[in-house]
């Protein structure tokens, strides 16, 4: 926080002055009232004199004594079970802070703490609002140890001190029974707040993980589709190359062997091609010019598409039909072309 920020805030009396004023007021009231409310005075004294944890003691000794591997396992478990900053001595923030002390260069630990600090700040504010200063001070010590320059730290510590002094004044008017009831309510509210916030954090993490999983599944599906298309394109290219080689071989054959011509072809069987189902449903018409070669035994030995309109809609069925045609035997292979038309009926 800059000096400009400090100067913009209203001036406050030091915490020690506030505490001394509250204690003096409590002693004066006790003297005037004949000492018949010791419980209220004790509650005020406890609220103001209870020592707050420091960053050095924010992480419990039991947690600090764990090894790096134990800390990593415990931190991950606490994080997955939504024990983000509570209970004391068994929460993700303490485990990550202890782990950072042992492995200061671990970027994953720093990232985890960065994610957890906003929730810790909210928990501190909630603790102050319900006068749970023990929890507020514990969490503030964790925040200070995690980031001594955190922009909210000074404001939160001042808020704890002010609210603690105000609470001490109110405590003087409470009986011991009322104070006990209030502490129970505070504890119940704290547990409810912790559960709600940690459950919300868990839902957010689950949503983020679901988004990551979906993106990974989409990428995998896209990769498979691309691989299938590449395989289909290669197969089509291989067939086209084979047809070209066959045509080139026929062209390179000695002219003397080409003693037959297309006029010599006498059809025996020329089944019509099937109409593609998709084209039939959409009532699409078209034509395909097919070049084919008839062998000496009258069977079609090769067939390829020269052109088609519309492209690729009727190509497969046209070639499949031509390959099934049969002719009377000829003296030499004959290559010719025929245009096959497709037109929906009705």
* Phi (first) and psi of residue 70, to 5 degrees: -65, -40
The distance of Cα 223 from the centroid of its chain, to the nearest Å, equals 20
Structure tokens, 312: 């690729």
Cβ 32 vs Cβ 64: under 8 Å: no
Give the CATH fold of the 260-342 domain: TolA/TonB C-terminal domain (3.30.2420)
Stated pTM of the model? 0.42
DSSP one-letter string for 294-336: E-TTSBEEEEEEEEEESTTTSHHHHHHHHHT-EE---SS-EEE
Q: How far apart are CA 24 and CA 186, in angstroms?
A: 27
Strand-pair partners of 289: 307, 339
Each domain of the chain, given as residue ranges in start order, spans: 12-215, 260-342
Whose CA is closest to 289, among 267, 275, 309? 309
Structure tokens, 295: 């062998």
Q: How far apart are CA 322 and CA 300, in angstroms?
A: 7
The pLDDT profile of the chain, 346 residues, written as one tens digit per residue, is 333 333 223 333 333 333 333 333 332 333 333 344 333 344 444 444 457 789 889 999 999 999 999 999 999 999 999 999 999 999 999 999 999 999 999 999 999 999 999 999 999 999 999 999 999 999 999 999 999 999 999 999 999 999 999 988 887 777 778 888 888 999 999 999 999 999 999 999 899 999 999 999 999 999 999 999 998 898 888 888 888 887 776 665 544 444 689 999 999 999 999 999 999 999 999 999 999 999 999 999 999 999 999 999 999 999 999 999 999 999 999 999 999 999 987 5
Whose CA is closest to 42, among 176, 181, 231? 176
Structure tokens, 332: 């030499």
Summarised one tens digit per residue, pLDDT across range 165-216 is 998 888 777 777 888 888 899 999 999 999 999 999 999 989 999 999 999 9
């Amino acid at each position: 926080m800059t000096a400009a920020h400090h100067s913009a805030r209203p001036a406050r009396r030091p915490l020690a002055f506030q505490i001394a004023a509250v204690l003096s007021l409590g002693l004066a009231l006790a003297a005037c009232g004949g000492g018949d409310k010791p419980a209220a005075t004790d509650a005020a004294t406890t609220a103001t004199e209870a020592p707050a944890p420091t960053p050095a003691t924010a992480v419990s000794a039991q947690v600090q004594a764990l090894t790096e591997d134990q800390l990593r396992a415990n931190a991950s478990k606490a994080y997955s079970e939504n024990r983000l900053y509570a209970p004391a001595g068994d929460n993700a923030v303490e485990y990550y802070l202890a782990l950072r002390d042992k492995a200061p260069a671990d970027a994953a630990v720093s990232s985890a703490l960065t994610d957890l600090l906003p929730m810790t700040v909210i928990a501190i504010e909630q603790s102050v609002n319900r006068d749970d200063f023990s929890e507020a001070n514990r969490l503030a010590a964790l925040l200070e140890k995690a980031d001594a320059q955190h922009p909210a730290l000074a404001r939160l510590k001042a808020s704890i001190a002010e609210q603690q002094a105000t609470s001490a004044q109110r405590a003087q008017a409470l009986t011991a029974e009322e104070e006990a009831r209030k502490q129970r309510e505070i504890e119940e509210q704290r547990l409810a707040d912790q559960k709600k916030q940690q459950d919300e954090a868990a839902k957010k993490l689950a949503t983020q993980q679901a988004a990551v999983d979906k993106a990974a599944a989409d990428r995998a599906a896209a990769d498979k589709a691309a691989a299938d298309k590449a395989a289909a394109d290669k197969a089509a290219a291989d067939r086209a190359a084979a047809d070209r080689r066959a045509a080139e071989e026929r062209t390179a054959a000695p002219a003397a062997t080409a003693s037959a011509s297309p006029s010599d072809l006498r059809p025996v069987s020329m089944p019509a091609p099937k109409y593609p189902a998709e084209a039939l449903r959409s009532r699409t018409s078209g034509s395909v010019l097919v070049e084919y070669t008839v062998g000496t035994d009258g069977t079609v030995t090769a067939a390829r598409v020269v052109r088609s309109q519309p492209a690729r809609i009727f190509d497969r069925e046209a070639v499949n039909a031509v390959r099934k045609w049969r002719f009377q035997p000829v003296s030499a292979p004959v290559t010719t072309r025929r245009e096959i038309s497709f037109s929906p009926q009705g």
